Amino acid sequence: MTGPSTVATVTPRAFLPESKLPAAVAWDGNAVRYLDQRALPFEIRVASARTADEIVEAIATLAVRGAPCIGVFAAYGVALLRRSIPEDAAFRAAAARVREARPTAVNLAWAVDRVLSADDMLAEARSIHAEQERVDAAIAAYGAELIPEAARIITHCHTGAIATAGGGTALGVILAAQRAGKRPVVYVNETRPLLQGSRLSELELRSAGVETILQVDSAAAISMARNAVDLVIVGADRVARNGDTANKIGTYALAVLAAHHGIPLYVAAPRSSFDASIADGEQIPIEERDKREVTHFGGARVAADEARAFNPAFDVTPHHLITAFITEYGVLRPPYSESIGEILRVS
Ligand code: MRU
């Protein structure tokens, strides 16, 4: 498998909070460019994918990550492969590999299927990308209304601009509340084992002037017990028809804690993260990743060679622990079979 070619790198010194990140994903004519999120926050590395191997590798290694962003990247990727693989069966096989590069985020299959059914695949990929901007803006606007003044918020994983290739979902809501002058304070869960919270959310929020406090995931209980938290807001990788929601591992624990402490938990997610084909969370495939993500930390071994490990990348939060969904169609409240059913019917 060939590695993706690096287009440009910038040293950490240039990556000051006020500096803007390059686009998460961009079409450049004969490749799909992407920001390699693995290098953040120490390096801004932009790379290019041209082949099916490179597209799959970028998604599988989380160089490109976040459910909607994976969808946008894969959409351009499939449009690119259509041009470079003239033989139909070979093209379909390559597109299928991209579609299966990660199993949990339904946005990936949704975007690939949309592109495959279009006459002009590149135009369809561009539409998916442009729609994400509009969808995220709507989610941010609906969500900001739910955030009280000076709210103390826990968020988990990273749901900002580079996770969607738009403006972000849960982080987009927090940033909109900040722009509205509400001065939120955010406890950022570090998000074991790949630290999307420490590496990405903390930086993005602080760069926008939001007060941030980084905490290990297991500190959420004491933060809540000390009455330091008003609400929790997270994103989603796949939502079933009944509202059961897969998101980054640790979200379920956070939801149980929030319910125990009487704290609302909101899920901000676009329609493309809702899977009309599944009734409940039991049917959501959960990605399990390399045990080295658990047995090593920052490349250094932290467990014995023989240690076995359980490393699910996601968990499923049962719908009854979710206060509301914030979507581009508005805020969905229980009973979810009805409110989710309605957006699935109109879209
Ligand atoms: O493994 P990752 O980093 O792709 O997981 C991402 C998440 O779990 C996000 O919360 C989700 O994809 C929503 S991104 C707007």
* Domains of the chain, each with CATH number or no CATH: 5-133 (1.20.120.420), 135-345 (3.40.50.10470)
Q: Residue 289: CB within 6 Å of ligand 1? A: no
For residue range 297-310, list pLDDT tens digits in order: 988 999 998 999 99
Q: How confident is the model at residue 347 (pLDDT cuts 50, 70, 90)?
A: confident
**Confidence band, pLDDT 50/70/90 cuts, at residue 4:** low
Tell me, using a 6 A CB cutoff, whether residue 105 lines ligand 1: yes
Distance CA 218, CA 52 (A): 38
Which are the contacts of 22, defined by CB distance < 8 A and separation ≥ 6? 35, 44, 46
pLDDT tens digit string along 202-244?
999 999 999 999 999 999 999 999 999 999 999 999 999 999 9
pLDDT tens digits, 267-314: 999 999 999 999 999 999 999 999 999 999 988 999 998 999 999 999
| The two structure tokens encoding residue 77 | 């990727």
DSSP 283: G
Q: How many whole angstroms separate alpha carbon 248 and alpha carbon 35?
A: 21
Confirm if 166 and 133 have CB atoms less than 8 A apart: yes
Which pTM value belongs to this model?
0.95
Q: What is the DSSP letter of 38?
A: G
| Residue 34 token pair | 């992407």
Alpha-carbon gap, residue 270 to 164, rounded angstroms: 10
Determine which of 130-134, 148-152, 204-208 has the lowest per-residue pLDDT on average: 204-208
pLDDT recorded at residue 10: 57
Is the C-beta atom of 248 inside 6 A of ligand 1? yes
Strand residues in 129-283 grouped as ranges (E): 152-155, 185-189, 211-215, 231-234, 238-239, 245-248, 265-268
Which of 37, 65, 194, 267 has the most ligand 1 atoms within 8 A of CB, as the residue to mutate?
Answer: 65
Mean pLDDT of the chain: 95
Q: Report residue 71: phi and psi, to 5°.
A: -65, -45
